Chains A and B, each alone.
Chain A
Amino acid sequence: MSYAYLFKYIIIGDTGVGKSCLLLQFTDKRFQPVHDLTIGVEFGARMITIDGKQIKLQIWDTAGQEAFRSITRSYYRGAAGALLVYDITRRETFNHLTTWLEDARQHSNSNMVIMLIGNKSDLETRREVKKEEGEAFAHEHGLIFMETSAKTAANVEEAFINTAKEIYEKIQEGVFDINNEANGIKIGPQHSPTNPNLPQSGQGAGQGGGCC
Chain B
Amino acid sequence: MAKSSDDEQEWMDDLEASVLMNDAKTATDVLRICKGKPINETLRPLAWQKCLDVSRSAFHASLSEIFDLPEQKLLRLDCQQFVAKLGNDDEDKVSVMSDLETILTTYRKVSNITYESGNGWLELLLPLLALKKPQNETYPLFAALRTLYIPNGCGHKSGDPFHLFRLLLLYHDPELCSFLDTKKITPDLYCRSWFQTLFAANCNLTVVQAMWDVYFQHSEPFYLFFLSLVMVINAKEQIMSLENSSKEVLVEMVCNMPSQLELDDVPDFCALAHYYGLKTPSSFRKDLLDKMFGDEALHNLLHGTMKNSSSSSTLTSPVEEKDLNLPQPLSQALCLPVCAAELVDSVSSSASGAPMSDQADGLIVETVRFFLVDCRPAEQYNSGHLPTAFHLDSTLMLQEPAAFATAVQGLLSARRQAQAVGSAAAGDHLCFLGSGRNEEDQYTHMVISSFLQKQKQHVSMLTGGYKAVHEYLGDSLNENLEHHNANSCLVCKANTTQPLESPQAQTPTVDIFSKLSAAVSKLKTSEVKGKLLDYIVNPAGSSGKPPVERHVRANDKLGRRYRNVAPVFSIDDDQEPFETASGAGNEENGTDDDGQREIINISQWSKENSITATFPCQEYKVNSMFYDSVLALSETYMYVLRLVPGRKGHAQIVARRSLSSVVKITSRRKHPNMITFKYGVSQDDDLVISDMDRLLIPNSTEAMKTVTKQIVNYLKTQES
Q: Which residue numbers of A lie inside 8 Å of B, CB to CB?
A: 35-43, 45, 58, 60, 65-71, 74-75, 96, 99-100, 102-103, 210-212
Stretch at the interface among B310-318, B468-476, B494-502, B561-569: B310-318
Q: Pick from B163, B317, B328, B446: contact of A41, CB below 8 A.
A: B446
- B361: interface (CB < 8 Å): no
Stretch at the interface among B195-203, B418-426, B437-445, B701-709: B437-445
**How many pairs, one residue from A and one from B, have CB atoms within 8 Å of each other in the complex?**
83
| With A40-B449, A69-B317, A69-B332 already in contact, 8 other A-B pairs whose C-beta atoms are closer than 8 Å | A36-B181, A39-B334, A40-B452, A41-B446, A68-B334, A71-B334, A71-B445, A210-B402
Q: What count of chain B residues pass the 8 Å CB interface test?
A: 32
Given known contacts A37-B178, A58-B398, A75-B442, is B334 in contact with A42 (CB within 8 Å)?
Answer: no
Within 8 Å CB of A71, what residues of B? Answer: 332, 334, 442, 445
CA distance A39 to B315 in the complex (A): 18
Within 8 Å CB of B679, what residues of A? Answer: none
Within 8 Å CB of A40, what residues of B? Answer: 334, 445-446, 448-449, 452-453
CB of A155 to closest CB in B, whole Å: 26
Within 8 Å CB of B398, what residues of A? Answer: 43, 45, 58
Q: Which residue numbers of B lie inside 8 Å of A, CB to CB?
A: 163, 178, 181-182, 312-317, 319, 328-329, 331-332, 334, 397-398, 401-402, 404-405, 438, 441-442, 445-446, 448-450, 452-453
Within 8 Å CB of A41, what residues of B? Answer: 445-446, 449
Of the candidates B316, B398, B402, the one having the most CB atoms from chain A within 10 angstroms of its own CB is B398
Within 8 Å CB of B317, what residues of A? Answer: 69-70, 103
Q: Pick from A42, A58, A210: contact of B449, CB below 8 A.
A: A42
Given known contacts A40-B446, A67-B163, A74-B438, is B332 in contact with A212 (CB within 8 Å)?
Answer: no
CA distance A39 to B169 in the complex (A): 14
Within 8 Å CB of A42, what residues of B? Answer: 446, 449-450, 453
CA distance A45 to B402 in the complex (A): 13
Q: Pick from B182, B315, B404, B448: contact of A96, CB below 8 A.
A: B315
Indicate if the CB atoms of A67 and B332 lie closer than 8 Å.
yes
CA distance A38 to B178 in the complex (A): 9
Within 8 Å CB of B178, what residues of A? Answer: 36-37, 39
CB of A18 to closest CB in B, whole Å: 14
CA distance A38 to B452 in the complex (A): 10
Within 8 Å CB of A74, what residues of B? Answer: 438, 441-442, 445
Q: Pick from B182, B331, B442: contact of A67, CB below 8 A.
A: B331
Given known contacts A36-B178, A99-B314, A210-B402, is B328 in contact with A70 (CB within 8 Å)?
Answer: yes
Indicate if the CB atoms of B448 and A212 lie closer than 8 Å.
no
CB of B161 to closest CB in A, whole Å: 14
CB of B549 to closest CB in A, whole Å: 27
CA distance A100 to B315 in the complex (A): 7
CA distance A203 to B511 in the complex (A): 53
CB of A87 to closest CB in B, whole Å: 14
Of the candidates A68, A69, A70, A99, the one having the most CB atoms from chain B within 10 angstroms of its own CB is A70
CA distance A180 to B328 in the complex (A): 29
CA distance A11 to B317 in the complex (A): 19
Indicate if the CB atoms of B332 and A39 lie closer than 8 Å.
no
CB of A204 to closest CB in B, whole Å: 18
Within 8 Å CB of B452, what residues of A? Answer: 39-40
CA distance A110 to B332 in the complex (A): 26
Indicate if the CB atoms of B332 and A68 lie closer than 8 Å.
yes
Given known contacts A67-B331, A68-B332, A96-B315, is B163 in contact with A39 (CB within 8 Å)?
Answer: no
Within 8 Å CB of B319, what residues of A? Answer: 69-70
Within 8 Å CB of B334, what residues of A? Answer: 39-40, 68, 71
Within 8 Å CB of A211, what residues of B? Answer: 401
Which 7 interchain pairs have the tightest Cβ spacing?
A40-B449, A210-B401, A99-B315, A70-B332, A37-B181, A37-B182, A39-B452
CA distance A49 to B445 in the complex (A): 30
CB of B482 to closest CB in A, whole Å: 29
Query: Quick one: closest A residue to B170, CB to CB?
Result: A39
Within 8 Å CB of A39, what residues of B? Answer: 178, 181, 334, 449, 452-453
Within 8 Å CB of B445, what residues of A? Answer: 40-41, 71, 74
Of the candidates A37, A96, A100, A211, the one having the most CB atoms from chain B within 10 angstroms of its own CB is A37
Q: Pick from A38, A45, A103: contact of B315, CB below 8 A.
A: A103
Q: Pick from A35, A60, A65, A99: contact of B316, CB below 8 A.
A: A99
Query: Quick one: closest B residue to A66, CB to CB?
Result: B312
CA distance A39 to B316 in the complex (A): 20
CB of B465 to closest CB in A, whole Å: 13
Of the candidates A60, A71, A74, the one having the most CB atoms from chain B within 10 angstroms of its own CB is A71
CA distance A175 to B328 in the complex (A): 35
Within 8 Å CB of B402, what residues of A? Answer: 210
Query: Quick one: closest A residue to B401, CB to CB?
Result: A210
Within 8 Å CB of A96, what residues of B? Answer: 315
CB of A101 to closest CB in B, whole Å: 10
CB of B598 to closest CB in A, whole Å: 40
Q: Pick from A68, A69, A212: contact of B397, CB below 8 A.
A: A212
CB of A22 to closest CB in B, whole Å: 17
CB of B437 to closest CB in A, whole Å: 11
Query: Quick one: closest B residue to A102, CB to CB?
Result: B315
Within 8 Å CB of B446, what residues of A? Answer: 40-43, 60
CA distance A45 to B401 in the complex (A): 10
Within 8 Å CB of B315, what residues of A? Answer: 66, 69, 96, 99-100, 102-103
CA distance A67 to B328 in the complex (A): 11
CA distance A65 to B314 in the complex (A): 10
CB of A34 to closest CB in B, whole Å: 8
Within 8 Å CB of B449, what residues of A? Answer: 38-42
CA distance A45 to B399 in the complex (A): 10
Within 8 Å CB of A35, what residues of B? Answer: 182
Query: Quick one: closest A residue to B319, CB to CB?
Result: A70
CA distance A99 to B182 in the complex (A): 23
A sample of 20 cross-chain residue pairs with beta-carbon separation below 8 angstroms, ordered by A number, consists of: A36-B181, A36-B182, A36-B453, A39-B178, A39-B449, A39-B452, A40-B449, A40-B453, A42-B450, A43-B398, A43-B450, A45-B398, A66-B331, A69-B319, A69-B332, A74-B442, A74-B445, A99-B315, A99-B316, A102-B315
Within 8 Å CB of B314, what residues of A? Answer: 99
CB of A151 to closest CB in B, whole Å: 18
CA distance A66 to B331 in the complex (A): 8
CB of A120 to closest CB in B, whole Å: 17
Within 8 Å CB of A67, what residues of B? Answer: 163, 331-332
CA distance A40 to B446 in the complex (A): 7
Within 8 Å CB of B182, what residues of A? Answer: 35-37
CA distance A68 to B163 in the complex (A): 12
CA distance A65 to B453 in the complex (A): 15
CB of B102 to closest CB in A, whole Å: 41
Of the candidates A39, A68, A99, A211, the one having the most CB atoms from chain B within 10 angstroms of its own CB is A39
CA distance A58 to B448 in the complex (A): 18
Given known contacts A37-B178, A212-B404, is B397 in contact with A43 (CB within 8 Å)?
Answer: yes
CB of A146 to closest CB in B, whole Å: 23
CB of B573 to closest CB in A, whole Å: 31
Of the candidates B312, B329, B453, the one having the most CB atoms from chain A within 10 angstroms of its own CB is B453
